């Protein structure tokens, strides 16, 4: 399905079709073998998820991958948000992915340590709506593991859409040793949904590294006093109540928005800010558990 999408994208079409035929069982077995072979070369798989949209999950994924690569770790970033992919934009990636001689997709290279795969890199028209049902999305996620030349990696970061539907479930089933990082904002509306994500992790037996509280506070540019735009402390309270590790709290920083639009994650920049210091703490709290 992915190879068909790439070929059609280069020919001007972006509508993939599901493969079928009498050899389906044999193809599925080959795919499972390819998935295991690909995953065996990746040391740590971190699944970034959230209960609702708008909490900054993709920006956390992008900056986490950027920070790990900057520290020298061989890092992959897999964007499986089919209907709202944003990772390519956040990392300044354009164009269609190429296919290697052995018929594997070649990830987009951000720097010497970071490579990225996104459904957006399968589409010729970046504004084209992707209208897929569950089986097509499930097939894409599996092929993002089996049909991509990831090579040897220290970390694979997986960015999925919010909620507990097809994509997160397929990630867990395809990558059973993935470790979850749950992103929330401090207000109760977000926390109510994040508790569903925690329930999802427990139900599917996804080990969770902890909770990240995003957009916690905003420093007033006039008086430098912190302003709690979305309340405060909710992420930490939820982590304690659910028996999970609180990985840290990230302040609201407009530079994250600017950097995302420019395609250069904040963690690639050398300037030290409240955001970068807070994010470094989170990265440390994640890596020390591994």
* 202 labeled binding residue: no
Q: What is the spatial distance between Cα 75 and Cα 156, in angstroms, rounded to a whole number?
A: 6
Q: Is 56 annotated as a binding residue?
A: yes
Quick: pLDDT tens for 217-266: 777 777 877 777 766 788 999 999 999 999 999 998 888 889 999 999 99
Is residue 108 a known part of a binding site?
no
User: Tokens 């028209």 map to which residue?
Assistant: 125
55 is written with which tokens? 């909490």
Q: What's the DSSP call for residue 129?
A: -
Residue 253: the pLDDT is 87
The reported pTM is 0.89
Q: Within 10 A of 195 (CB to CB), how many other CB atoms are there? A: 16
16: pLDDT confidence band, cut at 50, 70 and 90?
very low
Please report, for the chain, the start and end positions of each structural domain, with discontinuous segments joined by +: 50-288
Which listed CATH number (3.90.226.10, 2.60.40.10, 3.30.110.40, 3.40.50.300) goes with 50-288? 3.40.50.300
Q: How far apart are CA 252 and CA 141, in angstroms?
A: 31
CA dist., res. 78 & res. 255, Å (int)? 24
Q: Using CA atoms in the order 19, 25, 28, 33, what is the torsion angle rounded to 10 degrees?
A: -150
DSSP helix/strand/coil, 247? strand
- The pLDDT value recorded for residue 58 is 96
Residue 232: predicted pLDDT = 74
Kindly state the percentage of the chain with pLDDT values over 70. Answer: 91
- Residue 71 marked ligand-binding: no
Q: Is 180 annotated as a binding residue?
A: no
pLDDT, tens digit (0-9, with 9 covering 90-100), for 136-165:
999 999 999 999 999 999 999 999 999 999
> Is 8 annotated to bind ligand?
no
Rounded to an integer, what distance in angstroms lies between the CA atom of residue 181 and that of residue 286? 9
Alpha carbon of 140 to those of 71, 137, 159: distances in Å?
Answer: 30, 5, 14
Q: In the predicted model, what is the mean pLDDT of the chain? A: 89
**More confident position, 1 or 74:** 74
Tell me the pLDDT tens digit for each residue of 61-85.
999 999 999 999 999 999 999 888 9
Containing H/E element for 137? helix 134-146
183 annotated as belonging to a binding site for a ligand:
no
| 69 has binding-site annotation | no
Give the relative orientation of helices 134-146 and 2-11 as an angle to the nearest 10 degrees. 100
The residues that bridge with 211 in the sheet, in sequence order, are 182, 246
Give the burial class of 71: count Cβ atoms within 10 A of its Cβ; 0-12 exposed, 13-18 middle, 19 or more buried. middle
By DSSP bridging, strand 246-249 and strand 208-213 are: parallel
Q: Predicted confidence band at 9 (pLDDT cuts at 50, 70, 90)?
A: low
**3-class DSSP assignment, residue 114:** strand
The top-scoring range by mean pLDDT among 39-43, 215-219, 265-269 is 39-43
């Amino acid at each position: 399905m992915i190879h068909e999408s790439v070929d059609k994208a280069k020919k001007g079409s972006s509508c993939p079709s599901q493969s079928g035929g009498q050899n389906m069982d044999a193809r599925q077995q080959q795919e499972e073998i390819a998935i295991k072979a690909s995953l065996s070369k990746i040391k740590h798989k971190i699944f970034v998820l959230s209960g609702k949209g708008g909490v900054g999950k993709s920006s956390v994924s992008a900056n986490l991958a950027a920070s790990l690569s900057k520290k020298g770790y061989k890092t992959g970033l897999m964007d499986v948000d089919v209907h709202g992919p944003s990772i390519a934009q956040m990392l300044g990636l354009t164009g269609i992915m190429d296919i290697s001689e052995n018929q594997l997709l070649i990830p987009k290279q951000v720097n010497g340590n970071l490579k990225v795969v996104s459904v957006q890199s399968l589409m010729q028209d970046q504004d084209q709506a992707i209208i897929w049902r569950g089986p097509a999305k499930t097939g894409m996620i599996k092929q993002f593991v089996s049909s991509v030349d990831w090579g040897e990696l220290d970390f694979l970061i997986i960015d999925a859409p919010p909620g507990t539907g097809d994509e997160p479930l397929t990630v867990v089933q395809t990558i059973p040793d993935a470790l979850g990082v749950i992103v929330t904002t401090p207000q109760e509306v977000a926390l109510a949904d994040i508790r569903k994500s925690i329930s999802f992790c427990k139900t599917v037996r996804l080990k969770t590294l902890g909770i990240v509280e995003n957009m916690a506070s905003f420093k007033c540019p006039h008086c430098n006093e912190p302003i709690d735009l979305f309340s405060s402390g909710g992420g930490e309270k939820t982590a304690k109540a659910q028996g999970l590790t609180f990985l840290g709290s990230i302040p609201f920083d407009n530079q994250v928005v600017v950097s995302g639009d420019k395609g250069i994650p904040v963690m690639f920049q050398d300037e030290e800010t409240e955001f970068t210091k807070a994010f470094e703490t989170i990265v440390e709290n994640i890596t020390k558990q591994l």
